[in-house]
Structure 1
Amino acid sequence: MGNTLRRLYEECYSPRPEGGHGVSPGTAGFDALARDLFQFENTGQVPEGLSQHLEASKKTQATWYNKIQAAWKEEPPKNAEQAATLIVRALHKHHKVNVEGLLAFYGLPYPAASVQIPEQTLQKWPVGVKFELHSLQVDARAVADGDTITVYVDTKKPRESSEVPVSVQKAAMERREARTRRDYVRADALQNQIADAGYRVFDGARNGDDILSRKYRIRLRGVDAPESKMPYGKEAKEALLNLIEGKSLHILVYEQDRYGRSVGDVYCGNIFVQEVLLKRGFAWHYSQYDQRPEFAEWQKEAQAARVGLWASSNPQKPWEWRKDKREGVPIATFA
C-alpha cells in the first residue's frame, strides 16, 4: 500500500482549507483518505478534527484506521466509490452511525444499495460466533491429534493488524535486517523471540515478502476424536491431516477453552471438517458441549455403516478414557 498511498499523496493531493477536511464528494475525499492513511502508516496518528464528528476515543479511531489500512493493502481501491465500500466492509462490526460519520468526514459517497451498512453488528455468522479466521496454508505439523490443529493468520488481516505488539513488529523488522546481513544466528534468535510471543515469520511466502503471522490453536467444536494412544487415534489424526494439509482454512470461533485453544467450526473450501470426521467414524459427537442435531445424525450414519472406530463393537469414549487415565485406572492395550 505504501507506494499507492505515496503516489496519491505526492501527485494527487492538493492543500485543503483548515478547520476539518472540508472535502467535496468524489476524488477529493478519496485523495484525502489516501493522504491520511499514508500519514497514519508513518505516524500512527489519526486526522485532527475527526473526534468532532465521531463519538469514539482516539484508540478506537486508530483501530478503525488500522483495519482500513490493512484492507487497502489487500485490494487498493481505484476511486471514491470503491474507497467507500472498503470502509463499510472493513468496519462491518462497528455501529452504523460511526461508519456513516467516517464517510461524511471524507465526503465519500454512500455505497450502492448492494453494500449494506449494519445497524450495529452485521450478523453474517451463526449465533454464538465471536470472530472468524482465515488461515495461511497448514502443514503436517499443524495437526496435533484428530480434533486439534495449529494455524497461522496473516497479521495484515484487519482483525489482527491492530493487535500486534510493538515488540513483535520491531523483532520482525530486526530479523529481516539480520537476514539481509546473513546474520542467521541473530535472525534465529529473533524468530524464537517472536514465537514466544505467539507469532511467526514466514520467509518470502508472498511475492518475496515475509509474512508476520499470529498463531492460533484450534479445538474442533462439537467433536472428540480418539486420543493418540487409543484405538483409531492415529487414524483420526491422519484423516484430519489428509483433509487440511496444504489448505487455507476458514474458522468460525465461538469461545476459548481452559487450555487457551479457540473452539470453532473449521471449513476447508466447501468442506465442513467436523462433518467429514463424524461421517467417516473418526470422531465422536461431543454432545455434552454441543447439541447440534446434525452432528448426532452424522454419527448415526457412521455407526450404521460400521466405519472407522465404529468397526469395533464397543469403542471407548475419549472423555471416559481420559477420566480413567486421570484416576489411574489401568488402560487397556490393543494390538
Structure 2
Amino acid sequence: MGLLGKLVKFLLGPCLKPTTTGGDSESLGPYGVSAATVGVSALAHDLFNFEITSQVPEGLSQHVVSSKKAQANWYRKLVEAWREAQPPPRTAEEAARFVIQTLNRQQKAVEGLLAFYGLPLPHTVVQVPAEVPTSWPQGVQFEFQTLPVDARAVADGDGLTVYVSTADPTESSRVPNEVLMAAVRRAKARAKKNYTKANELHKKITDAGYRVLNIQNEEILARKCRIRLRGIDAPENAMPYGQEAKQELVRLLEGKCLRVLVYGEDQFERTVADLHCNGIFVQEELLKKGAAWHYAAYDQRPEFARWEKEARRRRVGLWASSNPEKPWEWRKHRRGGRS
C-alpha cells in the first residue's frame, strides 16, 4: 500500500471496512461500491490526490456543469477544511454535512458532489442539534446566517428582506421536495438553453418562497425571509427623517452577511429578530445614530432606552427635530385613530 492509501486508511479507520446492509438493490456510487461505504473513502482519496496533483477526479463533470477551474476551487476549499477537521468525517452523513458546510454558498457544487460520491442530499441530511449559546438574549428561539444583503431589499428603517442558502445545514432539511426538484430541473433547462422552461420553473420556486440567486457566478437556492428588527421603530418612509433612517440601515447592511437571532413572528408574518454584522449590533447602531425610536411597548431592554437617551442628548438623527412624531402614533392617525 502506498503512502496515500495508508494515510486514507489511517484517517478513516472503520469506515473503510466493508459493511452489508442486506440486498443488491443498494444504490451504487461512481466507484462501484455501496453508497454506505463509497462516500467517505472516495472523498478522502480524491482530496489527498488533489492536494498532490491539483487534479479533480474524472467523471465529476457528469454531475456538475461548472468549469474545471471552479471544480478545482471547490476541492481546494475542501482540502483546507479537511485538514482542519477534528476528527475528519467518518460516516456518509458526516461527510455530507462536511461538504454542505464547506461549500454552503455553492448549491450546484454541493448537490453535484454529493451525488458524485453517493452521499445523502441536503434535504435528507439529519441535523445534529446544536447547543443553545448562552450569549443569546432572553426569548431568542434560534439563529441563522444570511446571504449578502441587497440594498433594494431594505424596505424602510426597521425592515428588510433577506435570503438564506438552502445549503446551510439548518435549512437543508426544510426545503420542500418540489422546490428542490424544480431547482434541479431548472439548472438542467438552463444548461440546454431552454430559458422559457427555466423561467417557468423559477416562478414555481419563487411562489413557494424561495429563489435562485447568482452570487459570484454560483447559482444558490435560497429561502426568502422578511425581517422586522426587534425593539426599535424607525420613522416610516413618508415621515420626516424616514428616508434618512432607511439609508442608514442600507449603509450598515448592504453587501454583508447577517447573523439573525429570531424571537418569533409578528402579525404580518415577518420574522422578529436581532441583527448582527461584522461585530456590530444593528439595533444599537441605529439607536445611537438617532435613526430609530426604542419601541418600549414591545421590548424593555434597558440598554435600548439608554442608547436612545444618549442620541436624544446629542440631538443626532431624528432628534435634531425639537418634537419628532412617534411612528406608531403616525400610523394610528393614518388608520383613522384605530390602534
Contact 1:285 1:296 in 2 (8 A): yes
Report 1:123-202 matches (<5 A).
Answer: 123=134, 125-202=136-213
Secondary structure of the 2:222 match is strand
Summarize deviations over 1:13-35 as a string: whole Å, max 9, x none.
Answer: 3423679xxxxxxxxxxx86956
Partner residue in 1 for 2:264? 255
Unpaired runs of 5+ residues, structure 2, are 1-7, 23-35, 44-91, 104-126
1:290 aligns with 2:299: yes
* Identity between Structure 1 and Structure 2 (%): 52
Contact 1:216 1:261 in 2 (8 A): yes
Contact 2:19 2:37 in 1 (8 A): no
1:73 aligns with 2:95: no
Cα RMSD of the aligned pairs, angstroms, is 3.0
Partner residue in 2 for 1:234? 243
1:13 aligns with 2:16: yes
Out of 281, 286, 291, the position equivalent to 1:277 is 286
1:308 aligns with 2:299: no
Cα drift, residue 190 of structure 1: 1.6
Structure 2 counterpart of 1:287, one-letter code: A
Summarize deviations over 1:236-258 as a string: whole Å, max 9, x none.
Answer: 00000011001111110011111
Cα drift, residue 125 of structure 1: 2.3
Contact 1:92 1:122 in 2 (8 A): no
**In 2: Cα distance, 1:220 partner to 1:165 partner:** 27
**In 1: Cα distance, 2:20 partner to 2:251 partner:** 60
**In 2: Cα distance, 1:74 partner to 1:245 partner:** 24
**In 2: Cα distance, 1:66 partner to 1:328 partner:** 57
Contact 1:71 1:158 in 2 (8 A): no
Cα drift, residue 71 of structure 1: 4.2
Unpaired runs of 5+ residues, structure 1, are 1-6, 20-30, 39-64, 77-89, 94-117, 330-335
Contact 1:138 1:151 in 2 (8 A): yes
**In 1: Cα distance, 2:21 partner to 2:301 partner:** 58
1:227 to 1:69, Cα distance in 2 relative to 1, 3 A: same
Q: Which ranges of 4 or more aligned residues in structure 1 deviate by more than 6 Å?
A: 65-68
Task: State the number of aligned residues.
Answer: 244
Cα drift, residue 74 of structure 1: 2.1
Contact 1:70 1:161 in 2 (8 A): no
Secondary structure of the 1:278 match is helix
Q: TM-score, normalised by structure 1?
A: 0.66
1:325 to 1:292, Cα distance in 2 relative to 1, 3 A: same
Cα drift, residue 91 of structure 1: 1.8
Partner residue in 1 for 2:128? 91
Report 1:26-105 matches (<5 A).
Answer: 34=39, 69-75=96-102, 91-93=128-130
**In 1: Cα distance, 2:185 partner to 2:153 partner:** 27
Contact 1:202 1:213 in 2 (8 A): yes
Secondary structure of the 2:260 match is strand
Partner residue in 1 for 2:326? 317
**In 2: Cα distance, 1:167 partner to 1:210 partner:** 18
Q: TM-score, normalised by structure 2?
A: 0.65
1:68 to 1:234, Cα distance in 2 relative to 1, 3 A: farther
